[in-house]
Structure 1
Amino acid sequence: MIEIKDTVLQIIDQCYYDDRMKELATSFIDYKEKEGFRFAELVLFHYDLFGGKDKEIVKVAAGIELLILAIDIFDDLVDQDNPNPPWTSVSPATVTHVAIGLLIASQKAIDECHLNQDVKQEAKKILNDHSLRCMYGQQKDFENVITTEDDYLRITKEKSGALISSACLLGSIFANKQHVTDVKKYAEYFGIAVQISNDINDIQRETKKNDLLHKKKTLPILFLLQNKDPQFNIIKDYYNGKVTTEIIESLQQEIITNIKKSGAIEYAKVMMQFEISKAQKCIDEMDIPTTSKEKIVEFLLK
């Protein structure tokens, strides 16, 4: 995705007047490149799938990557659970200002692309609405209000489903404004599945970037909190404030070994597959060529 990164860097160069802030924003993009520009790919894929031809769409795709990076930064500032990104070693005030710049730059990327003016306004409304949904989901996640499977799925739909659906929708509306309802539905289901997959990986990490250590309530953890096996009482006690983080860290390897044998991972994988199946059903029912349906499934699940 060299073209995406070049476009992102061009936007940053135009938007930041301060050399230090520009340097930081560029280093953040370099870091993000390592995990790939997945959201930009979603925009470009849907634009191409529904017949889009204008290369200006690359600016829109770059814009959403700037937005996602800003949201990731704000999320890490709030949660304080991820020591790896470069923005964690910079003062929170400076990082906040850089992230605000990224938000503004994402809007400018759409404003200044040479595409249909009416569609651009609709695209910005989609981005704003979905970003607010994501913010709501992240706040509810931070408040740790999840107690049931339904809570988790509802909040994850807002937190993760909204962002993935926004990328898919941008590509489709700039192409032909058709199939918007269908795209939104399958993208949200897929977004939930992606988050479940991330949660499965997180709970098995023997590092500080582990949802259990931070008392998050993901699907695998909800399973464990309801498990009557005495070996998981320590997790229940930890969530109830009866056990310290230091004790959990000292026993982390043993706890993770037990989690892998508990059925929690298998349960989460079943739930993930259920969301994928719902996405698949939406795609199957779309009034588009079979080859297009196959392309969507292949792309989303690659």
Structure 2
Amino acid sequence: MKEIVSQKIKNQDLERYLQNFIESKDTFEFADLALHHYLAFNGQDQKAIEWLAAGIELLILSFDIYDDLEDQDNGSAVWMKIDSSIALNAVTALYTLSIQVMCQASHEPEFSQEILNFALQSIQGQHDDIVNAPQTEEACLEMIKNKSGALTALPCVMGVMLATGKYHPIVASYSYELGIISQIDNDYKGLFYLNNDFVQKKNTLAYLYLKKQFNDASAELLSLYQKPEEFVSINTKALKRKLTEAGVIQYLLVMKHLSLQKIKNEMSQLKLGEDKTEKLLSVMIK
């Protein structure tokens, strides 16, 4: 990724910012999704999958940065510590570069078009998140599918498309469910620290569930999340107990289980062989 930035970005000051952004990246799960789907469908061109995987990680990084800038979250990130206009221009360069790099993996017009379709779908999901559009569980799941699901489907579907030349609807379908699981995990982690989602009363699945106030614990938690001085004084064990009493943890686990079952059911239709299916599942669900 760093080498690509060095080759493609001629403005040295801009390159320095982008290299610093990349330096902060310590996971490459989306590249792994692309690679393992490519191999599962018998892809052979090592250089092509390297371009795709690198471009995908640059794209994911750009979307993470956009998300932080839009939510004014994650204050410790390097892009949150610099002038916002510089950060915005730099991340736009990163996003544009990511598209260019991914498109170099294949010269087929349909390949580039699908990449853009996924990116645009995720941007529209992000818009719904920013304006807090979801008012129901169904609407929230649709928003998650668009925002997180599309970004998760991109490496899986494009890895297969690079290997076979074809869009695979089953792969797309279960990949969206994987994105929902990932978002539920993020929402769960967010329950244990006072983040902007609760301060701004964002309609996450957890918050929508709490707002129904099925019991006293739900009402107590809603009040707690709006009182920073009280929230910081409660320990993790006590908070987890309260979340269990409210039914939030059980609810999120059920939602995850439903998506996981859909993934397994749809993967069984791929007819890749048990070894390849198990390998893919182990990469997807860690």
Q: TM-score, normalised by structure 2?
A: 0.91
Q: Tell me whether 1:41 sits opposite 2:20 in the alignment.
A: no
Query: Structure 1 stretch 141-150 or stretch 157-166: which is displaced more?
Result: 141-150
Per-residue deviation, 1:210: 5.4
1:91-137, CA deviations, whole angstroms, 9 ceiling, x for partnerless residues? 11101111111112112213444x4x22xx32221111111111111
In 2, the alpha carbon distance for the partners of 1:64 and 1:179 equals 17
Give the aligned partner of residue 215 of structure 2.
229
In the alignment, structure 2 segments of 5+ residues that lack a partner are: none
Q: Tell me whether 1:299 sits opposite 2:283 in the alignment.
A: yes
Cα separation, partners in 2 of 1:218 and 1:55, compared to 1, 3 Å: same
Q: Tell me whether 1:252 sits opposite 2:252 in the alignment.
A: no
Per-residue deviation, 1:178: 4.9
Aligned equivalent of 1:164, options 152, 163, 166: 152
Contact 1:202 1:210 in 2 (8 A): no
Contact 1:81 1:214 in 2 (8 A): no
Percent pairwise identity: 29
Per-residue deviation, 1:85: 1.4
Q: Tell me whether 1:67 sits opposite 2:55 in the alignment.
A: no
How many residues in Structure 1 have an aligned counterpart in Structure 2? 280
Give the aligned partner of residue 264 of structure 2.
280
Per-residue deviation, 1:74: 1.1
Per-residue deviation, 1:81: 2.2
Cα separation, partners in 2 of 1:289 and 1:174, compared to 1, 3 Å: same
Query: Structure 1 stretch 258-267 or stretch 134-143: which is displaced more?
Result: 258-267
What letter matches 1:157 in structure 2?
K
What letter matches 1:59 in structure 2?
W
Give the aligned partner of residue 169 of structure 2.
181
Aligned pairs (5 A) from 1:1-302: 8-32=1-25, 34=26, 36-56=27-47, 57-113=49-105, 115=106, 117-118=107-108, 121-178=109-166, 180-205=168-193, 208-209=194-195, 211-230=197-216, 232-233=218-219, 248-253=227-232, 254=234, 256=239, 258-302=242-286
Contact 2:141 2:180 in 1 (8 A): yes
Query: Structure 1 stretch 188-197 or stretch 248-257: which is displaced more?
Result: 248-257
Cα separation, partners in 2 of 1:111 and 1:146, compared to 1, 3 Å: closer
Per-residue deviation, 1:71: 1.1
Per-residue deviation, 1:38: 1.1
Contact 1:130 1:163 in 2 (8 A): yes
In the alignment, structure 1 segments of 5+ residues that lack a partner are: 1-7, 239-244
Cα separation, partners in 2 of 1:295 and 1:249, compared to 1, 3 Å: same
CA RMSD in angstroms, aligned pairs only:
2.0
Per-residue deviation, 1:218: 1.5
What letter matches 2:133 in structure 1?
V
Runs (4+) of structure 1 moved beyond 4 Å? 234-238
DSSP-derived class of the 1:287 partner: coil
